[in-house]
Amino acid sequence: MSDDRLISSEFANDDSAAEHALRPKTLKEFIGQQRVCDQIDVLLTAARQRNSAADHILLSGPPGLGKTTLALILASEMQTPIRITSGPAITHAGDLAAILSSLVEGEILFLDEIHRLPRPAEELLYLAMEDFRVDVMVGKGPGATSIPLELPPFTLVGATTRAGMLPAPLRDRFGFTAHLDYYEPIELESIVMRSAKQLGISIDADSARELSRRSRGTPRIANRLLRRSRDYAQVHHDGDLNLARTQAALELYEVDDLGLDRLDRAVLIALIDKFGGGPVGLSTLALAVGEEPETVDTVCEPFLVREGFITRTPRGRVATPAAWTALGRKLPKLPNQLPLED
């Protein structure tokens, strides 16, 4: 059920072609994350003036905020080729050594989900980032020998949704770390208007504002909601989007005014109606909604905690007054609770 969530910030199969077409090509076109863009602009400009490869960059932040887009912009701004891979795709240190040894001078290596890199590959990367060389082991047993391979200067751009999982030696080797934050509604509104123009969608300001308000601060979700709203308007109307059609489309796809979808509401309803608001353990809560504990923990809870609907305590998850209000429930009065004084 969670794999098909319309408001999941994870990459979906139908996002590939659409996101590629909508991605900005330069830092000036990139909307939002202004401080990060300014910092990267200084770093790249200095590297171009020195005619050298830029320092290694770590992009950190939740899914869907533009880490891959920024990596592609880096290559475009530096006018260098980019090699794209990911941590899970590298199963052995030899895989990474093969990629590194084929890089050309100044090339950018984009390593997505770098926190999932195997430990032997991490060890290899330390030397490559610092000294631009790798030691390749040839043979096995007592006859094994180490062959040093010199690498041309390159720029490693790592992307991670969990910076805390990166080992300190790897994290410290990045010359610059960019922390991407959730977007403001006004920024998402601009992104929706830009995407609509590129997709040839007629949309008014009220519709763009409504989509941005329900997008959880994430451009990927905003663009996905825009495409689904376009589909609705195309099937049921003339294809143009106004506020009423946008709201009808979002109601059809079960995305409410607060950005909650069916799974989010199921978690809150179970927490409040079945367990009296908590505290309740993660496994029990997941069982009540028919999901795996990992799904509730990684897919639902980050947004619910960030928006103040639930809190995590040593005894389990607890619904906040905001959650009771969001579901239209009356907050029960605690025993021996004194009335609040003015």
Tell me, yes or no, whether 122 and 227 share the same domain.
Answer: no
Domain match, 127 and 48 both: yes
**What pTM was computed for the model?**
0.80
Q: How many C-beta atoms lie closer than 10 Å to residue 54's C-beta? A: 26
Which residue of the set 5, 67, 214, 216 is catalytic?
67
What is the pLDDT averaged over residues 249-260? 84
**Same-domain pairing of 192 and 292:** no
Task: Flag whether 170 is in a domain.
Answer: yes
- Please check whether residues 275 and 238 belong to one and the same domain: no
The reply to whether 230 belongs to the active site is: no
For the question of residue 25 being annotated catalytic, the response is: no
- Are 227 and 136 part of one and the same domain? no
Residues 172 and 275 in one domain: no
Contact 322, 309 (CB under 8 A): yes
How confident is the model at residue 338, as a pLDDT?
42
Residue pair 108/155 in contact by the 8 Å Cβ criterion: yes
Single out the residue in 130, 155, 179 at which a domain terminates: 179
The whole-number pLDDT of residue 157 equals 92
Q: Indicate the pLDDT class of residue 339, thresholds 50, 70 and 90.
A: very low
CA atoms of 238 and 81, how far apart (whole Å): 42
Per-residue confidence band for 337, with pLDDT thresholds at 50, 70 and 90:
very low
Q: Which of 5, 171, 216, 220 is catalytic?
A: 220
Two tokens, residue 47: 């590297």
Helix (H, G, I), strand (E, B) or coil at 76: helix
Task: Over range 78-95, report the average pLDDT.
Answer: 87
Q: Which of 208, 212, 250 is nearest to 229 (CA)?
A: 250
Instruction: Name the catalytic one among 5, 69, 112, 214.
Output: 112
57 touches 43 (CB < 8 A): yes
Residue 202, domain extent: 185-252
Whether residue 135 is contained in a domain is answered as yes
Q: Are residues 174 and 189 in the same domain?
A: no
Kindly state whether residues 175 and 223 are assigned to the same domain. Answer: no
Q: What is the DSSP string of 191-240?
A: HHHHHHHHHT--B-HHHHHHHHHTSTT-HHHHHHHHHHHHHHHHHHSSS-
- Report the mean per-residue pLDDT for the chain: 83
140 belongs to the catalytic site: no
User: Is the CB of residue 154 less than 8 Å from the CB of residue 101?
Assistant: no
Residue where a domain terminates, one of 179, 208, 233 = 179
Q: For residue 143, give the CATH number of its domain.
A: 3.40.50.300
Task: Determine, yes or no, domain membership for 17.
Answer: no
Residue 96 lies in a domain: yes
User: What 3-state DSSP class applies to 128?
Assistant: helix
Active site residue 220: yes
Tell me the mean pLDDT in the region 20-43. Answer: 86
- Taking only the tens place, the pLDDT of each residue in 168-215 is 888 888 888 989 888 888 999 999 998 888 888 888 888 888 888 888
Location of structure tokens 């979700």: 221
Same domain assignment for residues 41 and 158:
yes
Tokens of 192: 């929706």
Do residue 153 and residue 280 come from a single domain?
Answer: no
Confidence class of residue 311 from pLDDT cuts 50, 70 and 90? confident
Q: Is 228 a catalytic residue?
A: no
Give the end of a domain, one of 131, 153, 179: 179
The reply to whether 218 falls in a domain is yes
The residue from 69, 155, 160, 161 that is catalytic is: 161
DSSP element (H, E) containing 316: strand 316-319
- Looking only at the bridges linking them, the beta strands covering 316-319 and 82-86 are unpaired
Q: Does residue 1 fall inside a structural domain?
A: no
Q: How many folded domains does the chain comprise?
A: 3
Q: What is the CATH number of the domain that holds 321?
A: 1.10.10.10
Residue 257 within a domain? no
Would you say the C-alpha torsion 198, 199, 201, 203 has a positive or negative sign?
negative
- What one-character-per-residue DSSP string does 300-312 give? IHHHHHHTTSEEE
CATH number of the domain enclosing 232: 1.10.8.60
How many whole angstroms separate alpha carbon 245 and alpha carbon 326?
A: 24
Provide the residue count of the chain: 342
Q: Are residues 41 and 174 in the same domain?
A: yes
Q: What element of type H or E holds 324?
A: helix 321-326
The type of residue at 181 is D
Mean pLDDT, residues 282-310 taken together: 83
Under DSSP, is residue 49 helix (H, G, I), strand (E, B) or coil?
helix
Could you tell me if residue 20 is inside a domain? no
